[in-house]
Structure 1
Amino acid sequence: MRRPKMILFDYGQTLADEGRFNGIKGTEAVLRHAARNRHGFTAAQVQAAADEINAELGRFDPARRHLFQVEAPNHMFTAYLYESMGIELPLTAREIDRIFWDAAAPGTPTDGIQEFLAFLGEQGIRTGVISNIAFSGETVSERIRALLPGHTFEFIIASSEYMFRKPNRRIFHLALEKAGLGPEDVWYIGDNYECDVVGAREAGLFPVWYTGAAQEPVREEADVLTVSHWSRLMGMLAEGRG
């Protein structure tokens, strides 16, 4: 472990705690804008269809999602979902993303993240984001700016814009190219063991497992730096242990 020149962050359950995702609430919000719903489908029925498609793709199964390493952008997913069900929406793909996401998972900053980001700025440690996410890159950047208005990330990489998903090494290598740094100078922090810890390590970055907003059981991994609050990392870096 060496002091990083840059720290890259995951978004969900790392920078932000989105709680339990409620797809029906998100779909309800979108359907309020429908110009036509030919078959009178309810939000629950639309979400059930979405869940069936996602199950076929293996997108959100905790045991399999790290195997799904090519992103299906949400504009493609929602276009198929709603049009195949006879639902017409006078909305852009980005508007659908924002309306759905704001209702399904509003999100709040994880405890202490604002202080940690301010500390990194004071220390001259650069920051960026890599997120496995189907929402558009503009929508993701807009969300992060709204949640963390006091901090500017050098770049925000959403897998929806770059095809590859963590743990695929290609998306980490993309970030390193954008940063102009070697992997030995970069830490990656995220909540998902397979996607964030294993993915970062295999790409040569130093992984940190953040568990402060974990939604899944956390197993002990003796060889992984695991933190449940940002103050621990702040303390380590302040003491020169990183």
Structure 2
Amino acid sequence: MPIRAVLFDKGRTLTTDARFDVAAGLSQLYARLAVPGAPALEEFIASGQALREELLPRRDDCDLEISCGQFLTTLLESNGILTDCEGAELERLFYSAAVSAEPEPGAEATLRTLRSLGARTGMLSNTFFSHSLLAEEMKALGLYELLDVFLCSSTYGVRKPHRLIFQIALARLGTRPGETLFVGDHPRDDIDGANRAGIVSVWYNPQAKPRPAGMEPRYEIRRLLDVVAIVEAGESSRSDAESVEFM
């Protein structure tokens, strides 16, 4: 069966986080919104880190997403900092100080080449940041216009590896599972999730890490551009049990 579409994870696949500084983001929120009687900055940051450590593993365990706006509103108000700011405004304040990203090597060339071959391209990211904010980031990196589909778990409240979010991506692409690749770095969210949805899984492993026990990607690649060879070769001539590495 020929490959008609390629989905990519975002972080550590299409992009590299040059900076993710939670303390810097919380400091900017505090500077803008703190009121008399609020805890000291150090206490506020510690509270944010503790809430993050408590909530995010639970989120991951049940494959459900919370939004950054919800998280920040809860953090502020639980610390006595009441605000009329909408979640989107809080998110933007936090993000501008906490996060910066760069394209992963080969990302733009890979997307351009896939599109020249007639393949549809998409991104499916587990993120509590909003679609609009990440779209702005990807536009600044020159990648957004190269994606036919741009999906964030924060939009749907469901995270990879849940089958539903992969089904939504397929519907948006207009392709069937067996004619769609999913490229990502995360063994559970990306590879197991794609496999369970019947999508052809591609493990992006640029550092040549040992393969985790039980993980069964259809392909393993070191460079994003290696995806092009998979698409050009097609899928119909290969055994479902076979796993191929591109070095």
> Does the alignment reach a TM-score above 0.5?
yes
- Within the alignment, does 1:220 sit opposite 2:211 as a pair? yes
Q: Compared with structure 1, are the counterparts of its residues 29 and 79 closer, same or farther at alpha carbon in structure 2 (3 Å cutoff)?
A: same
| Secondary structure of residue in 2 paired with 1:18 | strand
| Secondary structure of residue in 2 paired with 1:8 | strand
Deviation at 1:45, TM superposition (A): 2.7
Deviation at 1:35, TM superposition (A): 5.5
Structure with bigger gyration radius: 2
Deviation at 1:80, TM superposition (A): 0.8
Q: Compared with structure 1, are the counterparts of its residues 27 and 37 closer, same or farther at alpha carbon in structure 2 (3 Å cutoff)?
A: farther
Deviations 1:169-192 (A, max 9, x none): 110011111222211111111111
Which residue of the other structure, out of 104, 129, 133, is the alignment partner of 2:127?
A: 133
Determine if contact 1:167/1:195 at 8 Å carries over to the other structure: yes
TM-score normalised over the length of structure 2 = 0.83
Match in the other structure for 2:147: 153
Match in the other structure for 1:48: 46
Deviates more, 1:188-197 or 1:133-142: 133-142
Match in the other structure for 1:81: 75
Deviation at 1:82, TM superposition (A): 0.7
Deviates more, 1:26-35 or 1:174-183: 26-35
- Within the alignment, does 1:194 sit opposite 2:213 as a pair? no
CA distance in 2, matches of 1:166, 1:105: 22
Which residue of the other structure, out of 135, 143, 156, is the alignment partner of 2:137?
A: 143
- Within the alignment, does 1:38 sit opposite 2:32 as a pair? no
CA distance in 2, matches of 1:127, 1:150: 10
Match in the other structure for 2:112: 118
Deviation at 1:207, TM superposition (A): 0.9
CA distance in 2, matches of 1:152, 1:114: 8
Q: Compared with structure 1, are the counterparts of its residues 89 and 66 closer, same or farther at alpha carbon in structure 2 (3 Å cutoff)?
A: closer
Deviation at 1:196, TM superposition (A): 0.3
Q: Answer 1 or 2: higher relative contact order, Cα 8 Å, separation at least 6.
A: 1
CA distance in 2, matches of 1:8, 1:70: 20
Deviation at 1:20, TM superposition (A): 5.5
Question: Please, which runs of 5 or more residues in structure 1 have no aligned partner?
Answer: none
Which residue of the other structure, out of 75, 92, 97, is the alignment partner of 2:86?
A: 92
| Secondary structure of residue in 1 paired with 2:11 | coil
Match in the other structure for 1:230: 224
Question: Please, which runs of 5 or more residues in structure 2 have no aligned partner?
Answer: 236-247
Deviates more, 1:165-174 or 1:81-90: 81-90
Deviation at 1:195, TM superposition (A): 0.3
- How many residues are paired up? 232
Determine if contact 1:118/1:151 at 8 Å carries over to the other structure: no
Deviation at 1:124, TM superposition (A): 1.1
CA distance in 1, matches of 2:62, 2:197: 17
